[in-house]
Chains A and B, each alone.
Chain A
Amino acid sequence: QQPVQSPQAVILREGEDAVINCSSSKALYSVHWYRQKHGEAPVFLMILLKGGEQKGHEKISASFNEKKQQSSLYLTASQLSYSGTYFCGTAGGNEKLTFGTGTRLTIIP
């Protein structure tokens, strides 16, 4: 079953912050985050493992709450290059990685 992402789409001005949420109905071992630009392949951003850790990648960070089976991706002071569709992927412990339907992020000058 696919995890649910929210919002489905968001438009921001350069410099604004965004939060993308990912929620699963099953117990999770790990959560992946990817960004896909139009016409390109998804690119791996980060992985969070069971343990509730928070990770950072430049101005992009994420948290994972395995009790709530949720993860959130935080984009701070967004740049034009952050535009794209963001996907979370969830895994229950094996290699079966199930992706959400994506969140389209548009950054305008």
Chain B
Amino acid sequence: EAQVTQNPRYLITVTGKKLTVTCSQNMNHEYMSWYRQDPGLGLRQIYYSMNVEVTDKGDVPEGYKVSRKEKRNFPLILESPSPNQTSLYFCASSPTALYGYTFGSGTRLTVV
């Protein structure tokens, strides 16, 4: 089944403890992206990647890192999480810029 898989689905962590949210797609898509969703603010792009080793900042990249060493994987790294990073995170992928994104199921992160 074609899908984007995120892990974990839920995560509660403490301020400052490094964490990684994984994202993997099995559709051989070139484009991948991370979004965070907060009430009233819609989906805001954190980082996106156009291909292996090619990444760029979205609208809210502060406090996040990404890497794209393999085409299928696009992990999101929070080096020192803070409470304002409590949010619902979505990973998405697309074949090219002319196609819609397929979203993962989301990761609900709480930083206390």
Q: Which residues of A contact B (CB under 8 A)?
A: 2, 30, 32, 34, 40-47, 49, 87, 89, 91, 93-102
User: Mind listing 21 A-B residue pairs with CB under 8 Å?
Assistant: A2-B44, A32-B101, A34-B101, A41-B105, A42-B90, A42-B101, A42-B103, A44-B102, A46-B100, A87-B43, A91-B97, A94-B97, A95-B33, A96-B58, A97-B101, A98-B45, A99-B43, A99-B44, A101-B40, A101-B42, A102-B42
List the A residue with the shortest CB-CB distance to B6: A41
Contacts of B42 in A (CB 8 A): 2, 87, 99-102
Contacts of B97 in A (CB 8 A): 30, 91, 93-95
A44 touches B56 (CB 8 A): no
9 A-B pairs with least C-beta separation: A44-B100, A101-B42, A41-B103, A99-B43, A99-B42, A95-B97, A102-B42, A95-B31, A42-B103
List the B residue with the shortest CB-CB distance to A100: B42
Knowing A41-B104, A99-B35, the reply to whether A49 touches B98 (Cβ < 8 A) is yes
List the B residue with the shortest CB-CB distance to A47: B100
Q: Given A41-B90, A96-B45, A97-B101, output 6 extra A-B contacts at Cβ < 8 Å.
A: A2-B44, A30-B98, A42-B103, A44-B102, A91-B97, A101-B40
Minimum CB–CB distance from B7 to chain A (whole Å) comes to: 14
List the B residue with the shortest CB-CB distance to A101: B42
B44 touches A96 (CB 8 A): no
Minimum CB–CB distance from A9 to chain B (whole Å) comes to: 12
Bound CA–CA A91/B16 (angstroms): 34
Minimum CB–CB distance from A44 to chain B (whole Å) comes to: 3
Contacts of A30 in B (CB 8 A): 97-98
Asked whether any CB of chain A lies closer than 8 Å to the CB of B74, the reply is no
